[in-house]
Structure 1
Amino acid sequence: MKNPYAKTVGFELLHAARLHRARSAQLLSELGLFPGQEQVLTLLSAENGRTMGELATNLRVRPPTASKTVARLTAQGLVERLSSGGDGRTVRVGLTTEGRRRAEAVEAVWEALEREAVGEIDGKDRKRLRKLLRKLGQNVSTKLGGAEVDEFEGPIED
């Protein structure tokens, strides 16, 4: 029996997102990472020494979710908590040498995933697709009161 929602944009979006997440999990597992962890490494690679609040905001998750992910990356020796000058209340997170190496490998994985995902779609259609997805996100966000919603109830590396 055919799914009654099969001809909707939402159905196709959800299906594509699930497949994309599964493929990213497959590629990231080769680096010893779970989906979501690569985002922390990438953010720290771009700007090392971010606070937990900055990470949570950039990841679009709640602070406890970001903290749990950082704890797992710390246990793997990929990030470390750094003291912030004289303010003991502010903790910054930085990449270790191994974390920096893994962040570089993540960049290659993300580029490969992007090539696989867009395949034969030409540049003009890619740009249009990005704009349409952004608009779709804005439409849904507006109905949620404009707030970003943490899509993950638990750690982002489920």
Structure 2
Amino acid sequence: MTHPSEDTLGWLLAQAARLHRFYLNEKLNEMGLFAGQEQVIQVLDSLGSIPMGELANILRVRAPTASKAVTRLTALGFVERQSERLAEGGDRRSVRVRLTRKGKTAAARIHALWDEVEADMVADFDPKDGKRLRKLLLRAATNLATALGGTEQNFDIPLDALDDHRI
């Protein structure tokens, strides 16, 4: 039985994205991580110690969702929390999060995993086809961001991506 939408680009894109995520998740499981947790590690690797609220904003999740992810990653030894007082003499505290040494090692491995998955995804592509696919996906993402009433910036699409020398 075939899916009614299987001849559309959107369906094919969704299937490719689903398989990409599944394949990456298989590799993350070898590290004791689950899908989504690697994003926390990547953000912290990129930005260092940041407030929990900023982490939630970057991940585009609610603060309780970010907190739950950090709690799990803390229990696994990848992340640690730091409390700091916001105002002199006040009780308000801010929680910052950062990677542990284990988290920094994991960040390097996660970067390598992304590279491995991408290499497998385009294994039989001509290098020009890989560049062309990247450019087309960026255009598609830009078009969808615009259709949603936003801009590329609202959806984490690099503003200069289409002009990038790698394309």
TM-score w.r.t. structure 2 length?
A: 0.77
Partner Cα separation in structure 1 for residue 65 and residue 149 of structure 2: 22
Q: For residue 81 of structure 1, what is the aligned residue in structure 2? A: 81
Partner Cα separation in structure 2 for residue 64 and residue 145 of structure 1: 27
Once the two structures are superposed, residues 108-146 of structure 1 have per-residue CA deviations (whole angstroms, 9 ceiling, x without a partner) of: 212211111121223332222222222222322333332
SS at structure 1 position matched to 2:33: coil
Once the two structures are superposed, residues 13-69 of structure 1 have per-residue CA deviations (whole angstroms, 9 ceiling, x without a partner) of: 011111111111110000000011111112212221022233223323333322221
* Aligned residue pairs, count: 149
Are positions 1:96 and 2:100 aligned together? Answer: yes
Partner Cα separation in structure 2 for residue 63 and residue 100 of structure 1: 23
1:84 to partner: Cα distance: 4.0
> For residue 16 of structure 1, what is the amino acid of its counterpart?
A
Q: For residue 17 of structure 1, what is the aligned residue in structure 2? A: 17
Q: Indicate the structure (1 or 2) with the bigger Cα radius of gyration.
A: 2
Are positions 1:143 and 2:144 aligned together? Answer: no
Higher relative contact order (CA 8 A, sep 6+): 1
> For residue 129 of structure 2, what is the amino acid of its counterpart?
D
Q: For residue 51 of structure 2, what is the aligned residue in structure 1? A: 51
Identity value in percent? 49
Shift in alpha-carbon separation, 1:80–1:21, aligned structure 2, 3 A: same
1:75 to partner: Cα distance: 1.6
Provide the alpha-carbon RMSD of the alignment: 2.2
SS at structure 1 position matched to 2:111: helix
Q: For residue 116 of structure 1, what is the aligned residue in structure 2? A: 120
TM-score w.r.t. structure 1 length?
A: 0.81
2:109 equivalent among 105, 108, 122:
105
Of 129-138 and 1-10, the range deviating more from structure 2: 129-138
Q: For residue 165 of structure 2, what is the aligned residue in structure 1? A: none
* Structure 2 gaps, min length 5: 156-167
* Structure 1 gaps, min length 5: 150-158
Partner Cα separation in structure 1 for residue 10 and residue 148 of structure 2: 16
Q: For residue 126 of structure 1, what is the aligned residue in structure 2? A: 130
Q: For residue 30 of structure 1, what is the aligned residue in structure 2? A: 30
Partner Cα separation in structure 2 for residue 72 and residue 85 of structure 1: 24
Partner Cα separation in structure 2 for residue 128 and residue 84 of structure 1: 47
SS at structure 1 position matched to 2:97: strand
